[in-house]
Amino acid sequence: MKYNTPTTTVLYSIEEAIKAYRKLCQKNISQIIPDITVDQGLILIMLNNNEKTQSEIADLVFKDYASMTRIIKLMINKNYLIKTTSNEDKRKAELQITNKGKKVLKQLDPIIKENRNTALNNISDREMEQLYKTLRKITNNCKTEI
């Protein structure tokens, strides 16, 4: 098998896989919590039990800081988060999950597990470990070049 025409490259299938997975996730999340996106859910999870600033969370979920500002704003409007400025460093933003946010986190938990199981069905631990390693290589290859 050749990996040199667009539709047969590994990188094309990475894109394909992640898009399919995101669609599945969003569909299942929307059925239970209509007003939250996959990424917003991920932000809630990252904030849970973690004292992180806005840009730290942004790095964790691979978001640009500008996007983060806007996503957080929407999540505040939907009453999932509260934002205050840090006392130690007034540049930093402190993000807190509201009770509504915590409730959603609980609802999210089984959905996420189910999505993961669905996506990774029939994939052995060994296979998964290998996938993980190869992806790390690709990520590092791309990043060190920058």
Partner DNA sequence: TTATTTTACTTGATATATCAAATATATTAA
Partner DNA sequence: TTAATATATTTGATATATCAAGTAAAATAA
Interacting residues with DNA (CB under 7 A): 19, 22-23, 26, 37, 39-40, 53-56, 58, 63-74, 83, 88-93
- Closest Cα to residue 104, out of 60, 41, 54? 41
Which neighbouring-strand residues pair with 111? none
Which residues are at the interface with a second copy (CB under 8 A)? 1, 3-4, 6-7, 9-11, 13-21, 23-24, 27, 42, 45-46, 60, 62, 116, 118-123, 127-132, 134-139, 141-143, 145-146
Asked whether the beta carbons of 67 and 26 are under 8 A apart, the reply is no
Which neighbouring-strand residues pair with 84? 94
From the list a second copy, DNA, none, which binds 37 (C-beta under 5 to 8 Å, kind-based)? DNA
Residues near 90 by Cβ (< 8 Å), separated by ≥ 6?
A: none
Smaller CB distance to a second copy: residue 32 or 138? Answer: 138
Find the shortest distance in angstroms from Cβ 77 to a second copy: 24
Asked whether the beta carbons of 80 and 97 are under 8 A apart, the reply is yes
From the list DNA, a second copy, none, which binds 98 (C-beta under 5 to 8 Å, kind-based)? none
